[in-house]
Amino acid sequence: DEGVVILLEGQEYILRASLTAFCGDGLAVHEVFNLLGPSSNFFCRMCLYTRQDLHNGSIEIKQSRNMAVYNEHLNLLHNANYSDNAKTLTGMHGECCLHLSRFFHICKNLIFDPMHDILCGIGPMILKLVLLRYTLELKLFHIDDFNNRIASFQYGFVERKNKPSANFNERILRVKGHTLNQKAMQIWCLLRVFPFLISEWVLTGEEHLQLILLLLRIMEIVFAPKVTVSLMSYLRALITDFLETFKQLFPDVHMINKFHHLTHYPDCMLWSGPLQLYNCMRYEAKHNEIKLRAQNVHNFKNPPKTLIRIVQCSQSARWGKGNATIIRVEPLNGETVTVQNCQSRTYLHDLGYVDTDSIFTTNAIKINGVEFRLNLLVCLKIDKQNGKNLPLFGCIKEILMLNKNEVYFLTTLYKTHLFDTDFNAYHV
């Protein structure tokens, strides 16, 4: 409450902080929250859903772990002297240490990480089961042909670095477990291109392909940077349809914990906002710098202390530069040209420029970490004509940077004909 006094540009400020949200993979969250592990009977940190409910295929949300239930379980543990039986009945080891922060309680931390749930759990499992069904049971195509399609598919510049590895074989599909030798972003990319890869072999509307298309529609909402309240009912219906379809297609396969996590997503988003804000992908990417430091400092006695100190110094240096802008613009190349030599000459005249004025043009630019370059398609707006509500796309033909941080794109408009549900893509 007293805070910490800091000196910033010659003035003293009192810096106060509070814990507002905690996100991470399932195992880490359960350990910090002092709950039993994800393999326990009561594995859900938001409700009293049991392992038997999961094996029975129940999609119903059970009694919520609210403050009253949490305190009741704490009393039960205390009265039973924290016995193993009491821990099994409650799914808890004891109280969470984070409650020392008086504004934080785990019952109000309604957050799940979509990266670990979908890209590292449900996504690989669905892909593996569907490929096993297509290649080894129905024999619609050979797994080597699928690898060839992965290797030869035109992913484009944006997805080129996320290209899936063409390493599928019969052993990987038959081995026990639901993991694939792919990274999270590779799974995301593979799910999106999967309908294109198998379109020659699998009939339109095939039920296993529909399962993947349902998952893609769920992901579009879950990973969206902005969502509306009205979308939550639609998301809830999609999740129910997805779980029911999975049970119908794979009745002998037990669902993993992450399937149940999906049922909580609409409530989590209503309470905490878009789950993209709590996506652990960017946090784990930030760990790469720490890992490199750990390999080089050669400190084996107390690495956390050394690494935390280095990270704090590094973060303070970034903040101390004084250029922590809200909108970061970074041209990757470019040159200065006159207005008369630009494709956007007419539009620049409307902005008050004359032919002899000099402006900066570039082939590629990063805006808040998102890279735009020539000949990429961007979504401009929703075309509400004729009641179709289809997005209007434009192809970038010129990139101009005015007044150091104002970016303008000259685009060629493309007509959107329809949304193809069989490929989960727009036909332009």
DSSP states of 133-153 as a string?
Answer: IIIIIS-SS-HHHHHHHHHH-
What integer pLDDT is reported at residue 326 of this predicted model? 63
Dist CA 365 CA 412 (whole Å): 18
Mean pLDDT computed over every residue of the chain:
90
What integer pLDDT is reported at residue 174 of this predicted model? 92
Q: 379-413 burial, b for 16+ CB within 10 Å, e for fewer? A: eeeeeeeeeeebebbbbbebbbbeeeeebbbbbee
What integer pLDDT is reported at residue 386 of this predicted model? 67
Q: What is the CA radius of gyration of the chain?
A: 26
What integer pLDDT is reported at residue 406 of this predicted model? 87
**What's the Cα-to-Cα distance from 95 to each of 71, 217, 285, 323, 416, rounded to whole Å?**
9, 38, 31, 42, 55
Neighbours of 150 (CB within 10 A): 21
Residues 177, 192: one domain? yes
3-class DSSP assignment, residue 344: coil
Whole-structure pTM value: 0.89
Give the residue-averaged pLDDT of 355-375: 90
Closest CA relative to residue 218, chosen from 187, 239, 203, 202: 239
What integer pLDDT is reported at residue 243 of this predicted model? 96
Residues 91, 127: one domain? no
pLDDT at residue 294 above 90? no
What integer pLDDT is reported at residue 307 of this predicted model? 86
Phi, psi of 181 (to 5 degrees): -80, 60
Number of domains in the chain: 4
Of 64, 88, 109, which closes a domain? 109
Dist CA 138 CA 201 (whole Å): 11
| DSSP type of residue 295 | H
What integer pLDDT is reported at residue 281 of this predicted model? 87
Residues 105, 119: one domain? no
Which two tokens mark 215? Answer: 């998952």
pLDDT in tens, 300-354: 788 888 888 888 888 788 777 766 666 688 888 889 999 999 999 999 999 899 9
Of 259, 291, 320, which closes a domain? 320
Q: Compute the C-alpha angle 8/9/13, nearest 5°.
A: 30
pLDDT at residue 117 above 80? yes
What integer pLDDT is reported at residue 245 of this predicted model? 96
What integer pLDDT is reported at residue 158 of this predicted model? 85
What integer pLDDT is reported at residue 207 of this predicted model? 95
What integer pLDDT is reported at residue 299 of this predicted model? 74
Whether 76 and 90 have beta carbons less than 8 Å apart is answered as yes
Of 87, 109, 131, which closes a domain? 109
Residues 121, 173: one domain? yes
Residues 198, 136: one domain? yes
| DSSP type of residue 349 | H
Residues 286, 312: one domain? yes
Residues 162, 246: one domain? yes
What integer pLDDT is reported at residue 305 of this predicted model? 85
Show the domain range for 392: 329-427
3-class DSSP assignment, residue 389: coil
Dist CA 279 CA 330 (whole Å): 24
What integer pLDDT is reported at residue 201 of this predicted model? 95
DSSP structure string for 368-383: TTEEEETT-EEEEEEE
Residues 351, 340: one domain? yes
Residues 347, 234: one domain? no
Closest CA relative to residue 73, chosen from 109, 31, 35, 38: 35
Residues 57, 153: one domain? no
Residues 240, 374: one domain? no
Residues 119, 253: one domain? yes
pLDDT in tens, 51-94: 999 998 888 999 999 999 999 999 999 999 999 999 999 999 99
